[in-house]
Structure 1
Amino acid sequence: MSPSDKTTYLSKSLYTRGLQCHKSLYLDRHQPELRAAPSPELEALWKSGHEVGDFAHMLFPGGVVVPFDGLTKEEQVAKTREEIDRGTKAIYEATFSFDDVFVKADIIVRNRGYWDLYEVKSSTSVKEHYWDDVAVQYYVLSGCGLPINKAYLVHINNGYVRDGDVVPEELFVKQDITGIVREKQASIPDTLAEMRVMLRGKMPEIDIGPHCSDPYDCDFMDFCWRHVPEHSVFSLRGRGIDPWEMYRQGVVKLQDVPLDSLNLMQRMQAEYFLDRKSHADPAKIREFLKKIRYPVCFLDFETFGSAIPLFDGTRPYQQVPFQYSLHRSDAGGEEVTHFEYLAHPGVDPRREIAEKLVGEIPEGACMLVYNMAFEKRVLRELGESIPMLRKRLNAVIDGMIDLMEPFKRRDIYHWRMDGSYSLKSVLPVLVPEMTYEGMEISDGAMASEAYFTMEETADPAERSRMRKALLEYCGQDTLGLVRLLEKMRTMAAGSKG
């Protein structure tokens, strides 16, 4: 391959990137430095994908892995050919190159003189864009002379409940997509040719559009969206006008959006932004506050969800709580008391977390949370796994009040909330000293990632630092609720704020 061809040499992931957007593929090949750093969520997804892939190998035990690290592409291809010639029945990460396209197939299995191709996904369903992923592999493998019998997508069965060792045959669902994949073969050579012509030319003039995040969030969005201001037509929350329709008409800035085209909520967001307004309805806030009684507790959980269930009685991606923060006030005017729990990584935390929690919440307590559906689900699932505590946990659920309510209804609203009623949008605006900026952990995804990293690190000082950061973050969430309630009480009294 000559140096000039390097930018037109494609892979499975580059092919699917090109299908989403030619400009994204061009930037990847010619200006990769413009790519944004992966988010903690994306890194966690990649890590989960590797783990799921390893478990999927157990569907076809005794196979051979073609390693990625330590071998050149050519060596990986040669190693794969060697295993095929040797008569190996199952090959994991089998590597092929044809028509200047490089692919690593998750699993190929010999089947009566033919081969079956298996693409493994960590999702719980089959999505249409996966078909192209498998189709280009089928194209390359067939081009290398490998006779393919069937092509399958393997995905997670979200109804599986772990009981003892993971049973791969129950954890995974295999879906035959051979017909779809074969239908796609005829168009692949022309699609590849178009991509290569594009890559040899100038950067395509492709404007932003829904394709920027469909089917994946593009990692060049920061570059392509640099002309879109922070407050734009895309800042409008909820259902209402089609922002892309507005954008195509040349409306980009939020202040340029025609107000009469907006529904009530979006219009309020735009008007308040333009006029830098805020409001609080004291009567509605007082009505809400009437529901709150002592003793009052402020609760927040941190959870993790794993594609492979880690503990008996859990399902794939079930949100398992590993941490909570609880602030409690037993009577008006009393100082709040803080309780917290952070599980040791690697052990099932559910019983300990449930027992400690019910011991710290007085019977009949008023439970203040933010976004009640989440905490309710966590407590309900804890009750299902620990029947002896189900009644107590259900009583905690029954005492719940969602502090998000007045913000969702916009009884309280400030233009800097940008139409959002999430705690991260509300808290820094109403209680400026409660900012998440500068904190080592500043959202739930970072928290669950830190929890898993604690288990992997052998350095006690590093583990201790992460533990401190996790406790600080979760504690901030419930202390934030305490301060938010104080602020609401001030507003209810008719004071400005």
Structure 2
Amino acid sequence: MTPITKSLYLQFLKCQNSFHLIREGVVTKPTTSSFGGYLEWGDFLSLCKNQFPNSPTIEKSPNREEGFAQSLALISQNISHFSAQLRYQNLVCSVEFLEYDTERDGWILWDFRPIGSIKQDILRSFFFYKQVAEGMGLRVLGFKIIRIQTKFVYKGGPILPEDYLLIEDMTPRMESESGIRTEEWNKFQNEIQKTSEQSVHYSFLENNPSCRSLKTCLSPSHCAKGKENAKEIFDYRDSSELAKQWFATGYTSYESVPDGELSPIQKIQKEAHKTGMVHFDKEALSQYLSNVTKTVAFLDFESVNPYLPIYPDTKPFQHIPYLYSLHIWNGETDTLVHKTYLHEDIGSDPRQYILSHLQNDLPKDITIFSFNDFFEKLIIQESANVYPEYLEFWESVKSMFIDLALPFKKLWIYHPMQNGKASLKEILPCFSKESHIGLTIREGQDANYQYLRLIKKQVTTEEKKRVLEDLIAYCKLDSYGLFLIYRMLQEKLSVI
């Protein structure tokens, strides 16, 4: 029988259909790992392990039986150990630390997570561990987690575990929510029993209470047989559960949903898709651009946000800029200038250099366009707080920013090729010949990861040169894309 892991159990709670499809090997399990988490995991794990000196570790092995046997041997001797490999019937799991409490003669289940807050999946994971452990005959006394203290401010030197780590006893919360967790588990057990000797009936509507969209479905051909192409209705803005009701009614396309069931912005989408024409609200866009200066700037930052702080006066997960791309367009002379700065001295804090170069490169008193400008403004503000000689610069530019994402969020302009999306990467190909598809680095998470690789010295000298070039190319297209979108808006305003 195929073993049921913790991740498979969590998948069941998200979507019963996907649980069966993955378990039967029909589809592959979706990846949940983000770019480059492993680059920091080893250091984080070491800090956690330092809390339990002299405890043995079950090393990973291709042969899982060895791990189960080693854990059983240690459990039989009441020895606490890391990476405990537990198995009960067809349920298997790996517990970060299995601690034996001598005084109470029982076991405490520990989890190590590089996160700042507790989510439902943590509690569900603990419950899964508990079911396996108790099935093996272990007396489970409690649940504890080591996570990140998000208020921690790094001051340089070695990170001290007592300041950086937050040890939290989850036992009271597990006890208070035991009814919810038990209900989930019983539902899981009933489904296993119900489907053990018969084929599974897949239904997007009947068997998928938490799944709201065919866009995220692992296998529409199973869950919505014959209606695999009904994804259009889930592209409607702000549709969520409503789109599921439309699907149940039999609507399969933008055009099929009656106007009476649509919001004003959804009607805009429908009309654009029916006619193939770009929606353009001249009045709203004219007002939006009414105070733009003759010379304008287009700014994009790339940052790294490690959960193990690297630079002094930073917090876990704080975004630290290491690269910017700045396009400056003079509307009177129709000239475009590009300026960029990439911090190549990996061992030093890039923020002061970023601020210094940006202050020199950015003309005074001009409009600055960014896409979701909250991020760019936060980068400058937080950096200037650490280097107060640039606070005056921050004060001079903060009111000059305009968010170029706003017209697309508000649907003042909408291209049918957007398919309901409003990200720069989706918008740019709709209104220009440019696209991120041909780049080696195509998204911000990857750029973050690549620079972290440089910091962690995970690249060769030759590869470092290529990565730096790729980072510059990616950031440059983002700011150039902003320029193209702005010019497009201007041109449309002048001809409509």
Q: 1:92-103 residue pairs with structure 2 within 5 A? A: 92-103=82-93
Return closer, same or farther for 1:470/1:363 CA change in 2, 3 Å cut-off.
same
CA distance in 1, matches of 2:420, 2:144: 43
Q: 1:417-428 residue pairs with structure 2 within 5 A? A: 417-428=418-429
Equivalence for 1:15: 9
Q: Is the 8 A contact 2:115 2:147 kept in 1?
A: yes
Task: Out of 244-253 and 325-334, give the one that drifted further.
Answer: 325-334
Equivalence for 1:174: 168
Task: Out of 420-429 and 352-361, give the one that drifted further.
Answer: 420-429
2:408 is paired with a residue whose SS is helix
Equivalence for 1:395: 396
Equivalence for 1:106: 96
Q: 1:76-225 residue pairs with structure 2 within 5 A? A: 76-84=67-75, 88=79, 90-111=80-101, 112=103, 113-164=105-156, 165-170=158-163, 171-177=165-171, 178-180=174-176, 184=181, 188=185, 191-192=188-189, 194-195=191-192, 198-207=195-204, 209=208, 211-212=210-211, 224=223
CA distance in 2, matches of 1:491, 1:23: 47
1:303 is paired with a residue whose SS is strand
Q: Is the 8 A contact 2:13 2:184 kept in 1?
A: no
Amino acid of the residue matched to residue 275 of structure 1? T
1:472 aligns with 2:477: no
Q: Is the 8 A contact 1:228 1:252 kept in 2?
A: no
2:303 is paired with a residue whose SS is strand
Return closer, same or farther for 1:256/1:92 CA change in 2, 3 Å cut-off.
same
Q: Is the 8 A contact 1:427 1:484 kept in 2?
A: yes
Task: Out of 360-369 and 48-57, give the one that drifted further.
Answer: 48-57
Q: Is the 8 A contact 1:132 1:181 kept in 2?
A: no
What CA deviation, in whole Å up to 9, does each residue of 1:413-448 have, x standing for no partner? 3222334333223322122x1222222222212221
Amino acid of the residue matched to residue 122 of structure 1? P
What CA deviation, in whole Å up to 9, does each residue of 1:344-379 have, x standing for no partner? 346432222222211211232321212111211111
Amino acid of the residue matched to residue 56 of structure 2? V
Return closer, same or farther for 1:306/1:17 CA change in 2, 3 Å cut-off.
same
From 49, 59, 64, give the equivalent of 1:67: 59
Task: Out of 247-256 and 446-455, give the one that drifted further.
Answer: 446-455
Q: Is the 8 A contact 1:36 1:220 kept in 2?
A: no
Equivalence for 1:319: 319
Equivalence for 1:436: 436
CA distance in 2, matches of 1:159, 1:128: 22
Amino acid of the residue matched to residue 13 of structure 2? L
1:10 is paired with a residue whose SS is coil
CA distance in 2, matches of 1:319, 1:119: 26
TM-score, length of structure 1 as denominator length: 0.86
Amino acid of the residue matched to residue 76 of structure 1? G
Q: Is the 8 A contact 2:202 2:222 kept in 1?
A: no
Q: Is the 8 A contact 2:298 2:482 kept in 1?
A: yes
CA distance in 2, matches of 1:355, 1:342: 12
Identity among equivalent positions (%) equals: 22
Q: Is the 8 A contact 1:329 1:335 kept in 2?
A: yes
Amino acid of the residue matched to residue 25 of structure 1? F
CA distance in 2, matches of 1:332, 1:313: 43
Return closer, same or farther for 1:279/1:148 CA change in 2, 3 Å cut-off.
closer
Query: 1:472, CA displacement in angstroms?
Result: 1.1
Q: Is the 8 A contact 1:56 1:172 kept in 2?
A: no
Amino acid of the residue matched to residue 251 of structure 2? V
Equivalence for 1:293: 293
CA distance in 2, matches of 1:470, 1:387: 28
CA distance in 2, matches of 1:203, 1:331: 63
Return closer, same or farther for 1:288/1:260 CA change in 2, 3 Å cut-off.
same
CA distance in 1, matches of 2:469, 2:222: 36
Q: Is the 8 A contact 2:36 2:449 kept in 1?
A: yes
Query: 1:181, CA displacement in angstroms?
Result: 7.2
Task: Out of 23-32 and 181-190, give the one that drifted further.
Answer: 181-190
- Is there any run of 5+ residues in structure 1 with no aligned partner, and where? none
RMSD, aligned CA: 3.1
Query: How many residues in Structure 1 have an aligned counterpart in Structure 2?
Result: 482
Q: Is the 8 A contact 1:22 1:195 kept in 2?
A: no
Equivalence for 2:375: 374
TM-score, length of structure 2 as denominator length: 0.86
Query: 1:106, CA displacement in angstroms?
Result: 1.1
Return closer, same or farther for 1:245/1:46 CA change in 2, 3 Å cut-off.
farther
Return closer, same or farther for 1:213/1:408 CA change in 2, 3 Å cut-off.
closer
What CA deviation, in whole Å up to 9, does each residue of 1:3-48 have, x standing for no partner? xx3x2x322222222333333222222225x327647x63545766
What CA deviation, in whole Å up to 9, does each residue of 1:200-227 have, x standing for no partner? 532432325452379xx77557874683
Q: Is the 8 A contact 1:115 1:149 kept in 2?
A: yes
- Is there any run of 5+ residues in structure 2 with no aligned partner, and where? none
Amino acid of the residue matched to residue 179 of structure 1? E
What CA deviation, in whole Å up to 9, does each residue of 1:260-315 have, x standing for no partner? 11111111111221121223344544443332214422100112322333332222
Query: 1:102, CA displacement in angstroms?
Result: 1.4
CA distance in 2, matches of 1:336, 1:18: 53
Q: Is the 8 A contact 1:131 1:180 kept in 2?
A: no
What CA deviation, in whole Å up to 9, does each residue of 1:243-276 have, x standing for no partner? 1222222223222111111111111111221121
What CA deviation, in whole Å up to 9, does each residue of 1:384-439 have, x standing for no partner? 222221221232222212223333343333222334333223322122x1222222
CA distance in 1, matches of 2:23, 2:389: 58
Amino acid of the residue matched to residue 258 of structure 1? P
Equivalence for 1:305: 305
Amino acid of the residue matched to residue 453 of structure 1? R
1:336 is paired with a residue whose SS is strand
CA distance in 2, matches of 1:446, 1:266: 33
2:84 is paired with a residue whose SS is strand
Q: Is the 8 A contact 1:457 1:463 kept in 2?
A: no
Query: 1:94, CA displacement in angstroms?
Result: 1.0
Q: Is the 8 A contact 2:35 2:449 kept in 1?
A: no
CA distance in 2, matches of 1:31, 1:103: 20
From 21, 28, 53, give the equivalent of 1:35: 28
Return closer, same or farther for 1:384/1:219 CA change in 2, 3 Å cut-off.
farther
Q: Is the 8 A contact 1:18 1:195 kept in 2?
A: no
Amino acid of the residue matched to residue 110 of structure 1? Y
CA distance in 1, matches of 2:64, 2:373: 51
